[in-house]
A and B are shown apart, each in its own frame.
Chain A
Amino acid sequence: MTDRLSVTKTYKLLIGGKFPRSESGRVTPVGDGPGAYVCHASRKDLRDAVEAARAAQPAWAGATSFLRGQILYRLGEMMEGKRDELAAALTASDASGEVAHSIDRVLHYAGWCDKYPQVLGCANPVSGPYHNFTVPEPVGVVGVICPDEPSLLGLVSLVAPVIAGGSSCVVLASETSPIAPCVLAEALATSDLPAGVVNILTGFRDELAPHFSSHSEIDAIHAGGLNEDQSRVLREGAAENLKRVTIREDLDWTDDGACEDPWWIEPFLEMKTIWHPSAT
């Protein structure tokens, strides 16, 4: 019996529900052998992804909270079906543990979709004959910059609260371990999540992060695993259009108490206060 030569795979970007290669044509081999390649996204890919995210956002925000929750739960189901493939793509010592944790985190945020407005919004007792209430609304398009490790759990923890809150996002995956995020992209694309709500780029953080921060169609940033210099550059660029920037630091991503609550959704919400007179 002859040894079968394996089929190598190039993991592509996820933009607007499609899997394009980088427009730059750049690919990088993963690891030593000719096993796999990932695309090396460019600034143009980022722009395309932001455009897709912007186009997808109003319908995603307009979907009922119940439906968003169902779709996030469906994502959990799709990930469950890809447990082995996701675990094989991870280099962590407890790869299957990380996958399980990631799935559970998605389910946690699936459940928040139709609850956070009750926890974070309120009626305001103003002095006068008015109905006055404050409701959370999605911030819009969020740039998500992931830590290198944990490459799957970090990404899921940064993305789930953003999309639970009705925003769409453009994700820059782990630079050193991009394969699991690419496998996740394949789960996302088959999970009923509307095209463009989550877009995933692979590439180099130092090259792309400044473009995330300066892009005027990105409304907020959710990042983890940045060094001090990267944080400063990100915040400086974000000042241009006053992006809301949240950078997670010194975090144990496996700590549910630290990573799972409505205050993770809150930075990606805008509080809208509505007044209406009450009279006969």
Chain B
Amino acid sequence: MTTATRGEPSPIPTPRPQAVLTPLDTGSEALWAYDPAPERIRPEISPTYGLFIAGRFAPSASGATMPTINPATDETICQVAQGDQADVDRAVQAARDALPAWSALPGKERAKYLFRIARRIQERARELAVLETIDGGKPIRESRDIDIPLAAAHFFYHAGWCDKLRYAFAGREPTPVGVCGQIIPWNFPLLMSAWKLAPALACGNTAVLKPAETTPLTALRLGEICKEVGLPDGVVNIVTGAGETGAALVNHPGVDKIAFTGSTEVGKRIAKAVAGTRKKLTLELGGKSPNIIFEDASIDQAIEGIVQGIYFNQGHVCCAGSRLFVQESVLGDVVARLERRLASLRVGDPLDKNTDVGAINSKAQLETIEHYLQAGRSEGATLHEVNTSTLPSAGSWCRPCFFTGVQPSQTIARDEIFGPVLAVMSFRTPDEAISRANNSPYGLAAGVWTDKGSKIFEIASRLKAGVVWLNTYNKFDPASPFGGFKESGFGREGGMHGLRAYVNL
């Protein structure tokens, strides 16, 4: 998903395999010395942003604010209101008040609001893309080509469902759940807002959205868009803040449903917190997804798939293909080609259109990643640091890298790192690949690379994962359900199956 979605083979040209692979002379500046191509649009940013409640932006009740920081420069972009219990109370009340009229609106009319939101996202796409990149550190190429278009497409797709819900649930009459509390992560801020709000609204619910602490700006712009398109007040409310704000939302008695995307640890806490209530719950949590390369795969395409799988969005992807299993006979070849490809990735200014890997989202996340790099080394794995991009002096950065000689019991093979760090392991037989791939409490996604059709479908059916990418990786679409098995959570987002979380049957 690092490039335009035109399909396979990947549009990124790779050198034809040579008889003997020699490492690229990565020190040669001449080879890769593109001129910088920075995105020059600068969206207007106010010094402070309030909470979006009942159709109005207003400061938090306590007046507290928090800074949001550009992780590529360490500069404070602006201040954002920090919501607490009183603000969550107000937001939930606004959503409750808006619920009867919104859910009673004919589907055809609800749809028009969603269509309008989709259009406004498209029309403000440049601004949103730049803002996403400034606030979160992801390369402008990704926010421009993936995050923002997919967010618009998500509203467009769900707009069409508004008056067709009864066809999605054979034999049942779906009714809205009520007020939805939705908590989203910092890795795809606007896209996750769309994944949460679009199906909720389409099914006749109202919502209180809690964006991530480090990336609130595009969600707040979405609040502006809701206002612009005339969405009735209180149908969408946005309360920025940190973990306590989210906890207040989870525990609020006026909320009928919680949808959470984030870590498995927090997901379990939420599941426990709502255990004694009538709240419905869907969770989209962590992963340690396997990407399996067979000897009969198209290796060049597989290399691109590995890179898209783990280095997309700095590896801040819950479904990242972070465990690579390579059939033993091609292990040396794959590692050599991966090193060559990694050396060619450009790490740096996220606003530069040539950048492949942007800034790590926050200092705290960089510390987490560095902790895992240290764990990998100290537990005996071999770290391959072949990327030599010159890093900016300020900001949080981690060059893409991978470990070989990884044992399944090692920390880097078990824990979700959420960074551009890959653990490479080998296998001999398909059965071994499957059992090792499934040997994880997670079950979000998986990748399989082989040109043998019968083998690929058999392996796809035996992998315990909610999304299985065959001869591709990290593809997303509003029509395609996404979500995990096992401790990667429950419920699906997107597609017909994603509607289930937002209706009572």
Contact = CB atoms under 8 A, between A and B. Distances in A.
B460 A274 contact: yes
Contacts, number: 129
B480 A124 contact: yes
Interface size grouping (class) on chain B: 35 or more
Interface string B456-497: 100011000111111110010101111101110110100111
Contacts of B470: 274-277
Given A242-B267, A275-B470, A124 B276 contact: no
Contact of B477 (A132, A276, A279): A132
B495 A124 contact: yes
B329 interface: no
A216 to B, nearest CB: 9
A244 B490 contact: yes
Interface stretch (A185-193, A198-206, A265-273): A265-273
Contacts of A232: 275-276
Contacts of B428: none
A236 interface: yes
Given A134-B495, A262-B170, A279-B7, A124 B479 contact: yes
Interface string A36-50: 000000000000000
Contacts of A238: 271, 275
Given A134-B481, A239-B271, A276 B472 contact: yes
A244 B470 CA distance: 27
A115 B169 CA distance: 15
Contacts of B264: 242
B172 interface: yes
A11 to B, nearest CB: 34
Interface centre among A124, A262, A266, A278 (most CB of B within 10 A): A124
A273 B172 contact: no
B276 A273 contact: no
A272 B460 CA distance: 9
B283 A242 contact: yes
A66 interface: no
Interface string A16-41: 00000000000000000000000000
B153 interface: yes
A275 B445 CA distance: 11
A134 B168 CA distance: 14
Contacts of B461: 137, 272
A273 B479 contact: no
A272 B466 contact: yes
Contact of A235 (B172, B267, B275, B466): B275
A228 B479 CA distance: 38
Nearest to B445: A273
Contacts of B171: 261-263
Contacts of A137: 461
Interface string B1-33: 000011111000000000000000000000000
A129 interface: yes
A263 B505 contact: yes
Given A124-B495, A132-B477, A277 B7 contact: yes
A64 B243 CA distance: 47
A239 B171 CA distance: 31
B455 interface: no
A235 B495 contact: no
B481 A275 contact: no
A242 B483 CA distance: 14
Interface string B270-309: 0110111000000101000000000000000000000000
Interface in A182-238: 219, 228, 232, 235-236, 238
A109 to B, nearest CB: 15
Contacts of B496: 122, 124, 134
A43 B486 CA distance: 23
Contacts of B108: none
B275 A236 contact: yes
B477 A128 contact: yes
Contact of A239 (B7, B275, B441, B466): B275
Given A120-B170, A130-B7, A277-B472, 15 more contacts: A124-B479, A124-B481, A125-B479, A126-B480, A127-B477, A236-B272, A239-B268, A263-B169, A263-B170, A271-B481, A272-B467, A273-B481, A275-B470, A276-B456, A276-B472
16 contacts: A124-B480, A127-B479, A128-B475, A134-B496, A137-B461, A235-B276, A242-B486, A263-B171, A263-B172, A272-B460, A274-B468, A275-B469, A276-B456, A276-B471, A278-B7, A279-B9
Interface of B: 5-9, 153, 169-172, 264, 267-269, 271-272, 274-276, 283, 285, 441, 456, 460-461, 465-472, 475, 477, 479-483, 485-487, 489-490, 492, 495-497, 500, 505
- The 4 A-B pairs with the shortest beta carbon distances in the complex, nearest first, are A239-B271, A235-B275, A126-B477, A277-B8
